[in-house]
A and B are shown apart, each in its own frame.
Chain A
């Protein structure tokens, strides 16, 4: 694996499968009475959040603490850090404090890449979401959720998502989740279709390893998983679509549409869900909807990433894969 995790596109298939397999190991820790591993004891990790995201920050923090790392939370909000200089200054402060890894969330696309590559800091950098660019751990936790549901918790070990058909619906243009998922799911062998009104599909998408459709109804019957993206109401004012009602009618997922999906197919959402425009309560509360699992899986994935970037490439937990495979026979 590379030293940093900036983009899902940086992961080879072997890297991605290793992370998913390691996350399965990590998930077992959550089932224990004491949910903690000593792996990163004495290591300091900074969660550097230039953009609000309580969910992502808590997920990383839980993962770090379960690995026994010391955690520094740095939330840089508002105008005091609107000058670009502050990223560099902050990075150098963290470097001076001997931080072992930086988890960064930033409103500007490319900020984590800059942090990792401009010599401001030596520590591994993990991208926790940058602008409209990438959110690789989100893509990993989505893939993890899909592998568990569509292939099987243990049956999936060592495997990708070959031949699975994944549909991503909504504001692709502004979505780092969509970008990351297209890259990773393709690497893992899945077939991805993006569904959105043409105004929310980026120019240049024809070079992405995926299909594009403007019609949700056509794609639903052949989807193994449908991932609904959040659509912000502001987009309506910027003329990306005419009205909320029209958006819901053409691209929203309700019970009737869900019924057109294959029996086994799941519904995903990166959260936070706003019930209404893109997803109805009926769908959100159905047992096909994996939102809650996605949150739990997020911690396992982040543990795996931190472990692999900081700990090493050996199996994470002493009950090795081999031993466990025995158990499962």
Chain B
């Protein structure tokens, strides 16, 4: 077992401390720790040490779309971005709606070695919204599934949604809803508003998201269950979640990095890198999302990492696939939009990108743990003073559909540790 000493890093952005990793765990945290018997010393003065990041919303594409991403390439991308655990969405081919498929994904995650992979199970068979999947069997499988989602699609049938919320109470599960009223978004290609009117692209109205969230928080209240809302994108959604929390409803919510930074004005380029679901909204929405993330109305940042091969994006807007990769740029976008604007400190970032997602997903025994002696050594070291242009050629993800190519973003993950093993060293995959 190797011993690693991280020297002088600001733990959670606070005091500079030394952290000694011994094997899989943190052995000691303090000032001026001795380097005796240590195999590797990392001089980390000025860098910020965070608990390993946890992404509650990742598309790894395996099985079925290995040309976009595999569990191996996706977890390498995750490690590069500072993540030590990711939740893999269920919209694979076949859909992860049985114990067999979730166990396959879970096992591939184990073998990858870069990042823990926690499969998400589909709420309904084939994501068709008609019949509940074997939620219990997925929970009892080796993968121990606790998060269920038809993401990519909305569970729009109110009865099915009600039953799912009720059913998973038996084993402490949670339903993560992709809130999109399907009839209101038929033919939708971007945010409905000024820009869509001008560009002649089908509009995705904010109310299509808000109406489902409103319904679901009321359903969760009615059946006394908890619900998680994926990728909030509008100011109105924030208001509904805020109201639901004030009423005591057990709801949690996530926002993606791109919804914290980008607006629908970018779609004027007709460049499909900006085509995503839910769509990029307005400046007003972006500001409301930042505030909600800062004040805790939105609990976590989740990437919605959605890899697509080049040819699915190098075409006209209407034909292009929806989604963007995000694992490798998430922390930088959060630094720029939340930390550098003074809305969050690094402890706040750790809460929203590690502690809370681990809690919501039921992974808190392993991930999202405090940086202290005796805890699993899942850690991320960030050089926050770094400035550089995003170059997707260096991405570990198999797909390069990033909206940030050529954009300057701050911060760089220099080291990631998964249970004491370095998965990233000096910014490169180990």
Contact = CB atoms under 8 A, between A and B. Distances in A.
B200 A179 contact: yes
Nearest to A135: B200
B195 interface: yes
Contact of A111 (B189, B197, B203, B318): B318
A114 B317 contact: yes
Interface string B192-214: 11111111110101000000000
A108 interface: yes
B197 A114 contact: no
A138 interface: no
B128 interface: no
Contact of A203 (B189, B197, B201): B197
A202 B314 contact: no
Interface residues of B, number: 24
Interface string B293-312: 00000000000000000011
A203 B199 contact: no
A88 B198 CA distance: 24
A68 interface: no
A78 interface: no
A305 B331 CA distance: 49
Given A110-B201, A113-B270, A203 B315 contact: no
29 contacts: A84-B315, A84-B316, A84-B319, A85-B311, A85-B314, A108-B317, A109-B189, A109-B199, A110-B201, A110-B317, A110-B318, A111-B317, A111-B318, A113-B270, A114-B270, A114-B316, A117-B269, A131-B200, A133-B201, A179-B200, A202-B203, A203-B193, A203-B197, A203-B205, A204-B193, A204-B194, A204-B197, A204-B198, A207-B194
Interface of A: 82-85, 87-88, 106-111, 113-115, 117-118, 130-134, 176, 179, 202-205, 207-208
B222 to A, nearest CB: 30
B320 interface: yes
Contacts of A176: 200
Contacts of B314: 84-85, 88, 118
A194 B326 CA distance: 42
Contacts of B205: 203
A111 B201 CA distance: 11
Contact of A110 (B199, B203, B311, B312): B199
A109 B197 contact: no
Contacts of B312: 84
A132 B192 contact: no
Contact of A108 (B194, B198, B269, B318): B318
B320 A84 contact: yes
Contacts of B315: 83-85, 87-88, 114
Contact of B201 (A84, A109, A114, A118): A109
B318 A109 contact: yes
Contacts of A84: 311-312, 314-316, 318-320
Interface centre among B195, B199, B200 (most CB of A within 10 A): B200
B96 to A, nearest CB: 27
A85 B192 CA distance: 26
A223 B201 CA distance: 30
A83 B319 contact: yes
Quick one: which of A117, A204, A208 has the most chain B CB within 10 A? Answer: A204
Nearest to A9: B198
Contacts of A107: 318
Given A131-B200, A132-B200, A179-B200, A108 B193 contact: no
B192 A203 contact: yes
A98 to B, nearest CB: 23
Nearest to B316: A111
A179 B194 CA distance: 13
B270 A110 contact: yes
